[in-house]
Amino acid sequence: MQIENIIQRDVLLKPLTTMKTGGPASYFAEPSSEEEIIELLKFAGDNNLETFVLGNGSNVIADDDGFDGLIIKLGNNMSGIEVKDDPGDSGYGIITAQAGCLLSKFGNRAALEGFEGAEFACGIPGSVGGAVFMNAGAYGRDISDIAVEVRYIEDGQIKDMKVTKDDFGYRTSFFAQGSRIVTRLTARLKKGNKPKIDALVKELRDKRNASQPLTVPSCGSTFKRPEGYFAGKLIQDSGLKGFSLDDSGAEVSPKHAGFVVNNGGTAGSKDIKRLIKHIQDKVYEDSGVRLECEVRFLGGRKD
Ligand SMILES: Cc1cc2nc3c(=O)[nH]c(=O)nc-3n(C[C@H](O)[C@H](O)[C@H](O)COP(=O)(O)OP(=O)(O)OC[C@H]3O[C@@H](n4cnc5c(N)ncnc54)[C@H](O)[C@@H]3O)c2cc1C
């Protein structure tokens, strides 16, 4: 198969991101296998194209001018999930999911099978690959608590790596360094009490619904939690909850000050970046704390 056959041209990024920004990517492909990813990387190398791996687009602000390179989207075409008992200990189960599988599907499947420990994953709108890359987490747990093995591609090679908590940090991981593409996560989860697991899933979902603006485009928490502080609280203390610079749609959520939202989906990346900078400057002026972005930038200038 010619890899060119799966490459599309000028694909709009806006519908592929939860923030709803982004112009066209000049090259775009959604591979179905690790071999296709390797072929795509070769194509990019041969044609001198920058590459960007996109998961569910729930933590990226894609530039209004688009991306002049190749987007490798890991989504539906690589979204398989498998469950089995741990051969070494029948009190545990092993779940293996491809990178394009939604993290919520992963969490819900674990709950369905009666495995505890992945309840936090049910409400995070990312892919498994993006969650490994970011070490996504919520309510005191994250991917590092459950991951035992990660498959990834580096330098054109498929590698399987046993992982421990040391391979992850706060909203980052070993896989966020260099140019590693996560293709599969294996997690080990304890068998638990199903009604308790279901109750926790519901409790966390209710908490999220009550505190987060889930019906408005966003990337979730815009900033990392600074050591010893909460970003949302600092922003609120600076009087910026519900704040906007203009009528573009870029706004600090009136529901959760830690979320920059794209109200109505009308703001572009430039509007959102301008608001982010304003928040960073004002919070720094008021508290001396420099907020660092948790969101990632796709295309355009990185500041
Ligand atoms: C409403 C809302 C609530 C959220 N709540 C939470 C939360 O509670 N906790 C939390 O941690 N996050 C949260 N997020 C942020 C986001 O869902 C997570 O960061 C998630 O892990 C991103 O996954 P993704 O597949 O969408 O990644 P993308 O946004 O597509 O990409 C994010 C980064 O990961 C890289 N990447 C993606 N896939 C791969 C891969 N397979 N291999 C290598 N690199 C890859 C991309 O290049 C990019 O740099 C929330 C977002 C929204 C919109």
Looking at ligand 1, which residue's alpha carbon is closest to its atom 2? Answer: 220
Catalytic: 227?
no
Listed residues 47, 77, 107: the one ending a domain: 77
What are the pLDDT digits (tens) for 190-248? 999 999 999 999 999 999 999 999 999 999 999 999 999 999 999 999 999 999 999 99
Q: Is 171 a catalytic residue?
A: yes
For all residues of the chain together, what is the average pLDDT?
Answer: 97
Residue 175 CB burial class (10 angstroms; 0-12, 13-18, ≥19): buried
Please say which residue of 58, 77, 96 terminates a domain: 77
- Is 203 annotated in the active site? no
Model pLDDT, residue 303: 42
Based on the fold, state whether residues 198 and 220 are members of the same structural domain: no
Q: In CATH, what number is assigned to the domain containing residue 172?
A: 3.30.465.10
**pLDDT value at position 232?**
97
Span from the CA of 88 to the centroid of ligand 1 (angstroms): 32
CA of 137 to the centre of ligand 1 (A): 10
Same domain, 58 and 181: no
Domain count, the chain: 3
Q: Is the pLDDT of residue 96 over 90?
A: yes
Q: Which atom of ligand 1 approaches the CA of 218 most closely?
A: 53
Nearest residue to 217 via CA among 181, 260, 274, 167: 260
Of the residues 49, 77, 105, which one is the last residue of a structural domain?
77
d(CA 228, CA 246): 32
Single out the residue of 183, 145, 167 nearest to residue 55, CA to CA: 183
Q: Which residues line ligand 1 (CB under 6 A)?
A: 18, 52-60, 74, 99, 124-127, 129-131, 133-134, 136-138, 175, 181-182, 212, 214, 218-220, 296
What pLDDT score does 252 carry? 98
Residue 303 located in a structural domain: no
Same domain (yes/no): 261, 220: yes
Tens of pLDDT, residues 239-274: 999 999 999 999 999 999 999 999 999 999 999 999
Token duo for residue 19: 């923030």
> 112 and 227 share a domain?
no
Cα 188 → chain centroid? 21
CATH number at 47 reads 3.30.43.10
CATH number reported for the structural domain that contains residue 263 in this entry: 3.90.78.10
Say if 62 falls within a structural domain: yes
- Closest residue CA from atom 9 of ligand 1: 137
Whether 45 is in a domain gets the answer yes
One domain, residues 155 and 98: yes
Ligand 1 centroid distance, CA of 4 (Å): 28
Average pLDDT of span 57-79: 98
The confidence band for 300, taking pLDDT boundaries of 50, 70 and 90, is confident
- Are residues 88 and 31 both part of a single domain? no
pLDDT of residue 113: 96
Range of the domain at 49: 3-77
User: Ligand 1 centre from 59 Cα, in Å?
Assistant: 4
Q: Is the pLDDT of residue 299 over 80?
A: yes
Domain check: are 199 and 243 in the same one?
no
pLDDT digits (tens, 9 = 90+) for 114-137: 999 999 999 999 999 999 999 999
Pocket test for ligand 1, best of 59, 150, 221, 224 (most atoms within 8 A of CB): 59
Residues 72 and 82 in one domain: no
pLDDT classification of 15: cutoffs 50, 70, 90: very high
H-assigned helices in the chain: 34-46, 103-112, 128-134, 194-211, 231-237, 269-287
Q: What is the pLDDT, as a whole number, of residue 269?
A: 98
Residue type, 54: L
**For position 302, what pLDDT does the model report?**
44
Distance (Å) from CA 197 to ligand 1 centroid? 24
Question: Which residue(s) pair with 158 in the sheet?
Answer: 153
The residue from 173, 221, 244, 253 that is catalytic is 221
CB contact at 8 A, 115 and 106: no
